[in-house]
Structure 1
Amino acid sequence: MESMLVQPLVSKRAARLSIGAFFFIAGLCFASWASRIPDIKQHLQLSDGGLGAVLFALPVGLMVSLPFSGWLVHHFGSRKMVLLAAVLYPLILVNIGLVQQTWQLVVALFAFGLMGNLFNIAVNTQAVSLEVLYGRSIMASFHGIWSLAGFTGASIGTLMINFHLTPFVHFCIVACAAFLMIALLYRNSLRQDINADDDRPLFAKPDATLLKLGLIAMCCMVCEGAMFDWSGVYFQKVVAVSKGLIPLGYTAFMCTMAGGRFAGDKLVTRLGTLRMLQISGLVIATGLAIAIAFPTLVTATLGFMLVGIGVSSVVPLVYGVAGKSTVFSPGVALAAVSTIGYLGFLAGPPMIGFISQAASLRVSFALIAVLGFTTTIISSKTKF
């Protein structure tokens, strides 16, 4: 069945600005929460182990919401769900700033994960529909905006801490900024999704293509999770840098990942989706191999920069292809791929810890490099 999409009542440029704003809101809210975790930990007097247990509520909420998010987006449309999530996500963030007991934080983080995933599925469905109207790849730039919002949120968080503002006041300021963007730009969001007809299945086993796309996303997100949670530890224990240089690997990774996303669309247009995914897997594996084989400050930093470049376009590309499924509606297809992908994001960091404990951190990173290269292998066996 052919994709159905009515031309929007607004210009493509206006719609792109609107959708980009929603990606920015999502990234800003998440980064704002992450920047105040130490303060909330101290306020609730949580141990490291206690914090780890509490933080698990967020991915649990995310995973629980995955199938329902796809159904909601399919049934009500991504436009309504983007508005709902864009309003509730900052409100839940504000509630996190109000917690006084551990159980309240658990409930708030569960809701934050649940609403964050609905936001993710809905806004990516909007992006896929706009990409069809453009007739070329634009998905990576939206994810680049999310990364840029992460930097912005972290910077604002540092500023708020220096001004000695509480998380509640900080989160209220972020929520007000989000509501202002919603009021100004929501009217330009797309009113209809591609493949929005009602005869497509809502709950069904992913077909072979979606399964492969999910596995590609999973391999990439294992690598992303490794960089988020273990890059600092790698620089501390393996590269053995001074304390002030420990965050350098993570910073290098984040910078090239964000930059790669803004450049990714032009590269996809020139190289094609298949070639881009194949190259991405090779770059991920090469970067990790360099960091493993030559664990010095310069080479490890260079290696982590390559990993950032490699992972930058994989998930946006996978989401773009999945959202154009001719079997499932965009929301359902994206939810299916996200479910598989996020398993890697959640399972990857603990797996690295277990392998590192049994062997060494370099051995665990070598396994991650193999998974990065698996992105290339699976891509070569997938039809796009």
Structure 2
Amino acid sequence: MTAATRRRSTRDRCAVSAVFLTLGLVLGTWAAHLPAVKHATHASSSAMGSTLLVLGAGALLGMQVSGALVLRFGSRRVAVAGAVALAFALVPPLMFSTWLAVTVAALALGLAVGVTEVGMNAAAVEVERAYQRPIMASFHGVFSIGSVVGALLAAAAFAGGVSVHLAVLAMASLALIVCGAAAMGLLHTTTPADTPPAPAAPQDPERPLPRQRWRTTMLGVLAFLLLLTEGSAMDWSSLHSQQHLGATSSAGAVALASFVSAMTVGRFTIDRVAARMGPVSVLRWGSVIAVCGLIVVTQAPQLPLSCCGWALLGMGLSGCVPQVFTATGNLPGASAKALSRVVGVGYLAVLAGPAIVGWLADTVGLNTALVLPLAAMAICACAAGTVAPRRPV
């Protein structure tokens, strides 16, 4: 890699990271303001649940639309356009005072989320390809930081008595500034890496079309299982500590913090591991570590040990999803539509997984219900070979 190519790749990496940061800022702000939205609209918990469901449906639709947009315009333009739409779409649902208006605005926000998700992950695959070494996990680490920063800034605004309207406008402005930085890096020129790959010939003797579809399906299954586990940990770790171990609300929050912190740290370190061990080992051993973490969580008699289990789960999970997204983006003849399907299936798991665990918890108890994500990670360990890169001819 020449010095000029290295500088361009670094610039592209920073620009794509800015898009990931924007998404994190917006979603962190949205999540932190949900109680205020509920209060302002006088909505019930079930009504707010419907709003979140509409946002999720919008995101799934946006992901499918984004696949076609990336094929036509390139991932860079779609990623930047989606991030700008995110900044503008954040404002209306947090400004309106009626449930119906908030829900309609949440649909628009969901569409922007879906378009950005696929665009930025497709762009990240291209930048990673140019780097010729794993860097995907670091992008997701930047997203995690953005989510935390968004939530903390919202908390600071609440503590300082800043009005919701002013705080939201300030955050949208910050997101637009970050988008501007991303646009300067990604839209300066169209590079060969931004050109969508040509579809593979149906008669490709090395990897026939039916096998290609089968591998894409398996990658979608892996994304579903991994993000089911992640969503379950995000939504149930605190309550599990309270119900199963008798922890207080504040102590239960430590369990969630243990998981999130370990995952964030892992995302910034796992790329070097992947470069040395390969994606299959990262997924396999990460899944094994996650299984061990869940075993510790379900068997721990005290909160400190349980928190260690949640941290193990976060560390094990941290590098798994990036390997799946990278494998999808690098399939021979892969298109953005394949990536949009895998990302969409994974996002569906984030929505459905915690609900499934909740339904099981009503029947067998929350501690026993965590066997579901444990089994999901065991399956991922067995199917880790799916993310193996294509062998050269």
TM range (shorter): over 0.9
Q: CA RMSD in A?
A: 1.9
Deviation at 1:325, TM superposition (A): 1.9
State the TM-score, normalized to the length of structure 1.
0.93
CA contact (8 A) 1:212 1:382 kept: no
Structure 1 unaligned segments of length 5 or more: list them: 1-6
Shift in alpha-carbon separation, 1:233–1:324, aligned structure 2, 3 A: same
Counterpart in the other structure of 2:381: 376
Counterpart in the other structure of 1:266: 272
CA contact (8 A) 2:219 2:386 kept: no
Partners of 1:92 and 1:383 lie apart in 2 by 38
Shift in alpha-carbon separation, 1:194–1:186, aligned structure 2, 3 A: closer
Partners of 1:26 and 1:212 lie apart in 2 by 27
Residue type of the partner of 1:46? A
Counterpart in the other structure of 1:366: 371
Deviation at 1:256, TM superposition (A): 0.4
> Is residue 2:347 matched to residue 1:319?
no
Partners of 2:269 and 2:91 lie apart in 1 by 34
Residue type of the partner of 2:381? T
| 3-state DSSP of counterpart to 2:271 | helix
Partners of 2:334 and 2:385 lie apart in 1 by 23
Counterpart in the other structure of 2:168: 171
**Residue 337 of structure 2, aligned match among 322, 332, 346:** 332
**Residue 84 of structure 2, aligned match among 83, 87, 90:** 87
**Residue 293 of structure 1, aligned match among 299, 322, 326:** 299
Counterpart in the other structure of 1:234: 240
Deviation at 1:236, TM superposition (A): 0.9
**Residue 255 of structure 2, aligned match among 225, 241, 249:** 249
Deviation at 1:328, TM superposition (A): 2.4
CA contact (8 A) 2:324 2:387 kept: no
> Is residue 2:118 matched to residue 1:113?
no
Shift in alpha-carbon separation, 1:182–1:345, aligned structure 2, 3 A: closer
Aligned residue pairs total: 375
CA contact (8 A) 2:270 2:319 kept: yes
Deviation at 1:379, TM superposition (A): 1.2
Q: Which runs of 4+ in 1 moved over 3 A?
A: 7-10, 192-195, 197-201, 380-383
Partners of 1:270 and 1:9 lie apart in 2 by 21
Counterpart in the other structure of 2:226: 220
Deviation at 1:368, TM superposition (A): 1.4
CA contact (8 A) 1:282 1:376 kept: yes
Shift in alpha-carbon separation, 1:365–1:79, aligned structure 2, 3 A: same
CA contact (8 A) 2:198 2:333 kept: no
**Residue 148 of structure 2, aligned match among 136, 148, 151:** 151
| 3-state DSSP of counterpart to 1:327 | coil
> Is residue 2:185 matched to residue 1:180?
no
Between the aligned residues of both structures, percent identity stands at: 25
| 3-state DSSP of counterpart to 1:275 | helix
> Is residue 2:360 matched to residue 1:355?
yes
Counterpart in the other structure of 1:3: none
